Amino acid sequence: MVKKAPRRTAERILEVALELFNRFGEPNVSTTLISAELRISPGNLYYHYPAKDALINALFDRYEQSLNDLLGASDNVRNVEDAWFFIHTLFEIIWQYRFLYRDLNDLLSKNRRLETHFQAILKEKTRAVRAMLDGMGRADALRIDASDRQATATSMVVVLTYWLSFEYVQDPRRALEPESAQAALLRGAHHVLNLLLPYLESAQRAHLQQIVGAYAPATG
């Protein structure tokens, strides 16, 4: 039986750093804590990532790649069911890298690269959501004036970006723990898509309510 090659140290460092950042918040996790969790010397960690920002940037690169891979699919959204899957999957990526959103203002104030890249991400999210609305409009799933589409797309992105912060404020001790993930993401998807209710065609509105009802009370 062929043994699996051990994971490279650099990969293990990223995995543990992500877990600790997500659980405790990036400002509360030092490189010393990460190396202790891995049972490696600080020098070994610094060999791979000379500074904490290098770790953060490496994780951000992964997040950005996953996000961009998904956002391209927004052009294929045609109805409420497609939109639910798209928004929920987007929330799953945000959850996987939730430390970025938990400590967003702090991170952007300290890291110029994140500041500029996150601005680009917000623009790309808004473009993708606008494309989703355009596709649903062409498929007669919703009726929304062109003048309202940009404002609605922006409002949806605001909820997407700050939903986990809202969850955290309500329950700081448990909101961002792994066991809270499913309920938090379902509620987030519900409230993002709820912004479309005034514009949805009647059968699509009923279908969205049916989807939300299937996950109650998590979406309450």
* Residues 164 and 94: beta-carbon distance below 8 Å: yes
Q: pLDDT tens digits for 179-188?
A: 999 999 999 9
* Residues 195 and 156: beta-carbon distance below 8 Å: yes
- How high is the pLDDT of residue 7? 59
Angle between helices 31-38 and 52-71 (to 10 degrees): 80
* Residues 95 and 21: beta-carbon distance below 8 Å: no
Residue that wins the pLDDT comparison between 176 and 46: 46
What's the CA angle centered on 193, arms 192 and 194, to 5 degrees?
90
What's the CA angle centered on 67, arms 171 and 45, to 5 degrees?
75
- Residue 177 Rama label (left phi>0; alpha psi -120 to 50; beta): beta
Q: pLDDT tens digits for 29-47?
A: 999 999 999 999 999 999 9
CA dihedral over 52, 58, 60, 62, signed as positive or negative: negative
Residue 132 banded pLDDT, cuts 50, 70, 90: very high
* Residues 94 and 22: beta-carbon distance below 8 Å: no
Q: Which helix (H) or strand (E) holds 98?
A: helix 98-102
Closest CA to 18 of 64, 67, 66, 62: 62
Structure tokens at 165: 């912060």
Half-sphere exposure in the Cβ direction for 53 (13 Å, CA): 10
Q: The whole model's pTM is what?
A: 0.90
Residue 4 banded pLDDT, cuts 50, 70, 90: very low
Q: Is the pLDDT of residue 6 over 60?
A: no
- How high is the pLDDT of residue 23? 92
